[in-house]
Amino acid sequence: MFGFNRHDVRLLLNLFKMNIRDRYLGSSLGSFWAVTNPLFMLGLYTYVFGFVFKVKLPGADTTLAYVIWLISGYGPWIALQESIMASTTSVVGASGMVKNMAFKTELLPIAGTLVGVINLAVSLSFLFVLLLWSGASITWHVLLLPVVVVLQFSFAAAIGIWLSAIAVFIRDVIQILPTVLTAIMFMTPIFYSFESMPKFAQSMSVVNPLYQIADGYRAILLEHRVPNLSGLLYVGLLSLGMFYFGLIAFRRAKGYFDSAI
């Protein structure tokens, strides 16, 4: 599929392990930071919004309801952000391998995308603890969660396959990307509800894949309903198209990587 075979899956997993190992190389706690970093951020947001600002959802008696609502959108977001960042820098960061080894370099951004799996696992675990603490029930809708997870990482891979190739020739992409992602986060209804947005912004959010992904998590975990199927289908088709054409562009450009890295 897409020119990959089962042998590439083994290489993909090895590249993923290498990404995790190299990221925390030289630190005393090693890969333990992959868990503690997102856990610290989630705990910080819980403290700030739950105990300092004491934000409440309309009709809720406690601030815990808002914290759970926030984490259900923000947790997947930090995983998506980690995936896109790692994927974008994957080719430049593996310049030695690209120059000296013969392999399918298009596996690098895909492996970089998988880095966000750890963040997502930590975020969902944290969220489930909050749900149990609040006394909320977990319904059969949780079985639909893998669908949203797959769509999330498919979208990240589709973005990463483009940005990783562009970053080889234009390194400024790596520098500006965190700022752009932060701006997109605040433009997406993650910290505030969709209903609180102006009408024109609501129309734009409907075609925002990040909103559809966040809404999918909230529909399953908080509202106990089937997510918006048309929205998820839109994300899936968009990801498929972007990945397909991005893969073609990547394979055409990779012949020039040696001279550009």
Provide mean pLDDT across the span 130-134.
Answer: 91
CB neighbourhood size of 18 (10 A): 13
Nearest CA to 91 out of 175, 145, 141, 19 is that of: 19
Cα maximum dimension of the chain: 61
pLDDT at 248 over 70: yes
Cα distances from 196 to residues 49, 146, 199, 207, in angstroms, run 18, 29, 9, 17
Residue with tokens 């815990």: 64
Average pLDDT over residues 217-230: 96
pLDDT of residue 210: 95
pLDDT digits (tens, 9 = 90+) for 156-182: 999 999 999 999 999 999 999 999 999
Contact status, residue 228 vs residue 217, Cβ threshold 8 Å: no
Distances in whole angstroms, Cα of residue 173 to Cα of each of 169, 170, 176, 235, 239: 9, 6, 5, 24, 21
Amino acid letter for position 121 = A
Neighbours of 185 (CB within 10 A): 17
Is 124 within 8 Å of 146 (Cβ atoms)?
Answer: no
Q: What is the overall mean pLDDT for the chain? A: 90
Query: How does pLDDT run across 28-41, given as a tens digit for each residue?
Result: 565 677 788 888 98
213 burial type by CB count under 10 A (0-12 exposed, 13-18 middle, 19+ buried): buried
| CA nearest neighbour of 194 among 143, 231, 159 | 231
B/e letters for 225-244, b = 16+ CB within 10 Å, e = fewer, are: eebeeebbebbbebbeebbe
Predicted TM-score (pTM) of the model is 0.92
CB half-sphere exposure, 230, CA atoms < 13 A: 2
Q: What is the pLDDT of residues 67-100, one digit of tens each?
A: 999 999 999 999 999 999 999 999 998 888 888 8
